[in-house]
Structure formats: structure tokens, C-alpha cells
Amino acid sequence: MRLRLSANDGAGFRFVMSVPGIAATFGLALFALALVLLLAFRRNDGGLVIGPLTLSNFTGIFSDPLYAIIMLRSLWIAGLVTLATVVTAYPIAWYLAFQAGRWRGLVLFLVTLPFWTSYLLRVFAWKIVLAYNGVLNSALMSLGIWDKPSSALLNNPAAVVVTLAHAYAPFAILPIFVALQTIPRSLLEVSSDLGASRAQVFARIVLPLSMPGVLAGALVVFVPTLGDYVTPALVGGPGSIMIGNQIQAQFGKANDWPFGAALAVSTMLVILAAVLLIRQADRRWGSRA
């Protein structure tokens, strides 16, 4: 009797608990996605979802080398951002997991501190740092390294990479930190006892065991930066216009929503391919088995 009741309770509880999730998934995510998908096959005739369907948006995208160039540029920039973020995040996560001791709380707090300000403010902060009369130029001039300010720091892809890498750092630090923290300390002791050097312990034990965190962090950084448009628009200059800027322009100035939707769908396909690649990598190197 008691058992049956609790089983019933469990089912009811599970149902109630999953209602918000199901509603959000279907109502917000899948419905919106379906709308974008439908729009991508529409002609730009002013109507939104009702009207004749066409493949011309996609043939336009795939037959035009410009969009391939912009996509490659976006992949290149997002890839560099991911690399820069992971490489700089790893030592911080490592310090947090193994060295921070009683400072861990404080360091974690500092890592998340940038999130207390708006993303836009952080982009503008970088603009102030990198500008012609900005912080970096003034510092280099007062150190005598340059005798006149350089305008080469801002309005190029490198500025986009630096700004995005800073903005997304916590997204890489936290998963790597968690992965490192769950490595049993006994393994490290055992390998030391068996005569492994610190470099060997890192290369053979710590790094492989933290790979799931690294790959998760890389994915979380790569996917949103690929579609970012605010950062290239503000610090990128004409040379770093990314696919997100093109999508935004189609929904804005160019006033061709179906084409913008088709670009968005194509971008999603590229991201899907990237995710599959990373999953493949995860199977190969990330597994803890």
C-alpha cells in the first residue's frame, strides 16, 4: 500500500516538475525555431508566415561566395576566441582547484565579477583600453615604447578576439575548474609515489581527466561567439564583420527577414556540425572510462 502510493506520488511529482520544462521547450524554443525555419523558406513579400514557399534564400546563400567568406571569417574569429579563452582559463581553473586553498571563494568571486556589469559596458571598457587615445596607447607612450599613439589596436579582428575572450572567460573557467576538482587526489599521490614528475602527472593524469571540462568550456564559448554581432559592430571595424552582423542587417536595414532567417538556419547547421565534431573529440579524448 505504502509502496503503491509513493510510486503514484512519484509520477505526479515528475509530471508537475516537467511541465515548466516542456512548456518552455515547446512554447519558447521549438516554436520559435519552427518559425525561423518556416520564415527561411519564405519569399520577401511583406507577409510573414503565410504565403508561397521557396528555396531561393538558400540557393542565394550557397551560390554566393561572400557568405562562405563571412562564415569562414566567423569560424576563424570564434575559433581564436575559444582557443584564447581556454588557454587563459586553464591556469586559473588549475589554480582554483589545486592551489587557491582558503582563497578559493575570493578568486571565484573575482572570476564572476565582470558579470556584475552589462556586457555592453565591458565592450565599451575595451574600447577605452584599446582606443587611439586610450589606456594602452597612453601607457605604451609614457613608457617610451611608442612615440605616437597607434590606431592599430582597435577596429580589427584582434580587438574582437580580445574583447570576446575576456567576456566569455568565466564560461571556460568554471567547467574546467569543476572537472579538475573532481579528479581524485589519490591518483595524483599514486603517480607521484610511482615516480612520475610533475610534468608527467599533468600530461598523463590531470590534463586527460580534465578534458571533458575543457571541451564543455570550448563549446560554451564557441557557439555564442560564432553568432555574436555586438562586439564586431563596436570594436571590429569593417574587416571583422561576422555572420551575426549580416543576420542582424537583414532583419534591420536590409529589410529581408526571410533571407536573414535562412542565414540564421545556415549558421545553425554550421554550429551543429561543429558540435558533432566536438562530441566526436569528446568520445576520443574526453571520456573518463
**Footprint on this chain of another protein (rule: CB under 8 A):** 46, 64, 66, 69-70, 73, 127, 131-133, 149, 151, 154-155, 237-239, 241, 245-246, 249-256
CB of 131 to another protein, least distance (A): 7
- Residue 252 C-beta: closest distance to another protein, Å: 5
CA distance 154 to 131: 6
Sign of the Cα pseudo-torsion (227, 274, 21, 48, in order): positive
Rounded least distance, CB 226 to another protein, Å:
15
Minimum separation from the CB atom of position 145 to another protein (A): 19
Alpha-carbon distance of 264 to 35, in angstroms, equals 12
Closest contact distance (angstroms) between CB of 142 and another protein is: 16
Q: 210 vs 248, which CB is nearer to another protein?
A: 248
Compare residues 122 and 127 and give the one whose CB is closer to another protein: 127
Least spacing, CB of residue 152 vs another protein, in Å: 8
Please, is 283 exposed, middle or buried when counting C-beta atoms within 10 Å of its C-beta (0-12, 13-18, 19+)?
exposed
Which one-letter amino acid corresponds to residue 259?
A: F
Closer by beta carbon to another protein, 43 or else 127? 127
CA distance linking residue 58 with residue 56, whole number of Å: 5
- Is residue 41 within 8 Å of residue 55, measured between CB atoms? yes
Q: Considering the complex, state which of residue 123 and residue 169 has its C-beta at the smaller distance from another protein.
A: 123
* 164 in Cβ contact with 232 (< 8 Å): no
| DSSP track, 160-194 | HHHHHHHHHHHHHHHHHHHHHHTS-HHHHHHHHHT
CA distance 3 to 103: 48
Residues 6+ apart with CB under 8 A from 213: 93, 175, 176, 177, 178, 179, 180
Q: Which is nearer to another protein, 126 or 177 (CB)?
A: 126
Nearer to another protein, 131 or 226 (CB): 131
| Nearer to another protein among residue 99 and residue 150 (C-beta) | 150
Q: How far is the CB of 268 from another protein (least distance, A)?
A: 19
